[in-house]
Amino acid sequence: MDLSAFRMLQAQGLGIIDVGARGGVSPTVQAVAPLCDVVGFEPDADEARRLQEAGRRSVPWRSLAYLPYGLGAADGERLLYLCRSPGASSFYKPNRRFVDRFPDAGRFDIVTTATVPVRSLDSLVKDSQVAMPAFIGFLKIDTQGGELEILHGAEQVLREQAVAVEVEVLFAPIYESPSTFRDVDAFLNRCGFTLFKLRRMEWVRQAAAQRPQISAGQLVFGDALYLRDPLSARNGGAPAQPAQLEALVLIALLYDLHDFALELVHAPAWDGVFDRDVLRDYVGRQGRRLNSLRERCRMAKALCSASSGWRRYASRWARGDDNFYSVSNRTT
């Protein structure tokens, strides 16, 4: 991806906070790595060092750092429940009455616990002993039930800097967590964010494990994308900072929201705020390139629906949407 159009981000960088980064930084943003100052969080100090070394070798980030903390609503310590599947570990116990009704529930077995240090994002930004990006534009949070606490601890960053949040949301009681999609949505709405996309995950119960294709399954969790819309009446239509506008355009492109990107670069409100002509040309070229790619994807999907590919999909007990990311940056 040609990134020369994003002049402010080239000079200033786009700070990305990746919480729940044990598997490495999200592939979604790797295509724009040279613009990104990434900070990941991993409470295991040895694992944090390993991730940092591996990430720097494999992807040309503007900068990359993993901090040996968990994130939460306030500074302190928390008990971390380590499950048989590392991706199921959480600050909250799994809700056995719910997860045991579905296949592969053993991955939620608690193997051990550990007390880990926790910081709030707002306190880290103010801590002169911790190097943080000058502009934090994007938060990506996937912590198995702890998302609302992290957002509460990042309220100042959300209100003053961030333009985008991708957050895992719970629709069912997978964990003994008090927060659900409703709570996360209400909080981000109060902070000035609008829900733009939702990738859903459904599970089919153990009762139909041998024939999961007979059921659509229950919506249990999802990944939600929230953006700050500077053109909405709620935000008064006031111009944002140039770096924030460029970040919005860039993230809109990554998530296949070309209509929003076009609306931003054509808005008269941004005259003199950033180089609209350069970005307008860039977004237009991306749209033309992806139009043919999207058509090829549509045709491939139509063929798949009538083939064994669709049958393999239907035979899974855990299913997710496939249209969350840009068709040029599809990871699932």
Strands 193-203 vs 218-228: parallel, antiparallel or unpaired: antiparallel
- Residue 284's SS3 state is helix
Which residues face 15 on adjacent strands? Answer: 37, 136
H helices of 91-141, in order, are 96-99, 121-126
Q: In this predicted model, what pLDDT tens digit does every residue of 204-229 receive, in sequence order?
A: 999 998 888 888 899 999 999 999 99
What is the 8-class DSSP label of residue 267? -
Q: What is the pLDDT of residue 316?
A: 74
Q: In this predicted model, what pLDDT tens digit does every residue of 39-86 receive, in sequence order?
A: 999 887 777 888 888 888 888 999 999 998 999 999 999 999 999 998
**Smallest Cα–Cα separation from 134: which of 123, 147, 145, 125?**
125
Alpha-carbon distance of 49 to 55, in angstroms, equals: 10
The residue length of the chain stands at 332
Strand order in the sheet with 164-170: 63-67, 36-41, 14-19, 136-141, 164-170, 218-228, 193-203, 318-320
Q: What is the pLDDT of residue 59?
A: 86
Q: What is the mean pLDDT of residues 114-143?
A: 95
Strands 136-141 vs 76-83: parallel, antiparallel or unpaired: unpaired
82, two tokens: 């380590």
Residue type, 160: E
- Which CATH number is associated with domain 7-74+120-320? 3.40.50.150
Q: In this predicted model, what pLDDT tens digit does every residue of 78-117 receive, in sequence order?
A: 999 999 998 899 999 999 999 999 999 999 999 999 999 9
Alpha-carbon distance of 140 to 271, in angstroms, equals: 30
Which residues face 139 on adjacent strands? Answer: 17, 165
Residue type, 173: P
Q: What is the pLDDT of residue 323?
A: 57
Share of the chain above pLDDT 70, in %: 83
Share of the chain above pLDDT 90, in %: 59
pLDDT at 308 over 90: no
Q: In this predicted model, what pLDDT tens digit does every residue of 180-206 receive, in sequence order?
A: 999 999 999 999 999 999 999 999 999
For helices 258-266 and 242-254, angle between their N-to-C axes, nearest 10 degrees:
150
Model-level pTM?
A: 0.88
* CB 180, CB 245: distance < 8 Å: no
Q: What is the pLDDT of residue 270?
A: 75
Residue type, 20: G
Q: What is the pLDDT of residue 25?
A: 81
**Smallest Cα–Cα separation from 118: which of 75, 154, 86?**
75
111, two tokens: 């193997």
pLDDT-derived band at 131 (thresholds 50, 70, 90) equals: very high
Q: What is the mean pLDDT of residues 118-126?
A: 97
Alpha-carbon distance of 321 to 299, in angstroms, equals: 17
pLDDT-derived band at 332 (thresholds 50, 70, 90) equals: very low
pLDDT at 178 over 90: no
H helices of 127-257, in order, are 147-152, 155-160, 181-190, 242-254
Q: What is the pLDDT of residue 31?
A: 87
Angle at 324 between CA 260 and CA 226, to 5 degrees: 55
- Going from N- to C-terminal start, the domains of the chain cover 7-74+120-320
Mean pLDDT in the chain? 85
**Smallest Cα–Cα separation from 81: which of 113, 122, 54, 123?**
113
Alpha-carbon distance of 33 to 323, in angstroms, equals: 22
